[in-house]
């Protein structure tokens, strides 16, 4: 029996939680970088979802914020899994054959343009 995978609409990067923590604590990225020893550019890229949370960053965040490195690593793993599942879901193509009356052709052309559908007229 196969396990059904629930795929979110969008994946949430752990950087979002870092951003939330900074806001709640009234800290700046610069302060967190100084406290953790993480390069400000690395911290910024992580917070903005352009870089993964590495083990060393997770350990530094644990020391500075008191949130377990396990949690940071688990969130990164979940983000990676969600991203892969979203990509797989989005790459699955479904083909549907329909016949549209001539009077509705302009509407169909607009839907094709808006949603990027492939269509043969």
pLDDT at residue 96, rounded to an integer = 66
CA dihedral 112, 114, 117, 121 (to 10 degrees): 10
CA dihedral 110, 8, 81, 48 (to 10 degrees): 80
DSSP H stretches of helix in the chain: 15-25, 29-36, 40-47, 55-65, 69-91, 105-115
pLDDT at residue 115, rounded to an integer = 74
pLDDT at residue 61, rounded to an integer = 98
Residue 113 Cα distances to 2, 66, 109, angstroms: 37, 49, 6
pLDDT tens digits, the chain, 121 residues: what are they?
567 778 888 999 999 999 999 999 999 999 999 999 999 999 999 999 999 999 999 999 999 999 999 999 999 999 999 999 989 888 876 666 767 777 777 777 787 777 776 666 5
pLDDT at residue 121, rounded to an integer = 57
Residue 34 Cα distances to 3, 63, 90, 92, 102, angstroms: 44, 12, 40, 45, 66
- CATH number belonging to domain 15-91: 1.10.260.40
């Amino acid at each position: 029996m196969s396990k059904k995978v629930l795929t979110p609409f969008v994946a949430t990067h752990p950087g979002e939680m870092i951003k939330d923590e900074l806001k709640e604590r009234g800290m700046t990225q610069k302060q967190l970088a100084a406290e953790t020893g993480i390069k400000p550019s690395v911290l910024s890229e992580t917070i903005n979802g352009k870089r993964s949370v590495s083990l060393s960053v997770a350990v530094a965040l644990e020391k500075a914020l008191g949130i377990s490195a396990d949690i940071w690593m688990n969130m990164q793993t979940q983000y990676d899994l969600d991203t892969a599942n979203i990509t797989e879901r989005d790459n699955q193509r479904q083909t549907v054959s329909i016949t549209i009356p001539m009077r509705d052709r302009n509407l169909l052309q607009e839907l094709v343009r808006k949603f990027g559908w492939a269509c043969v007229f």
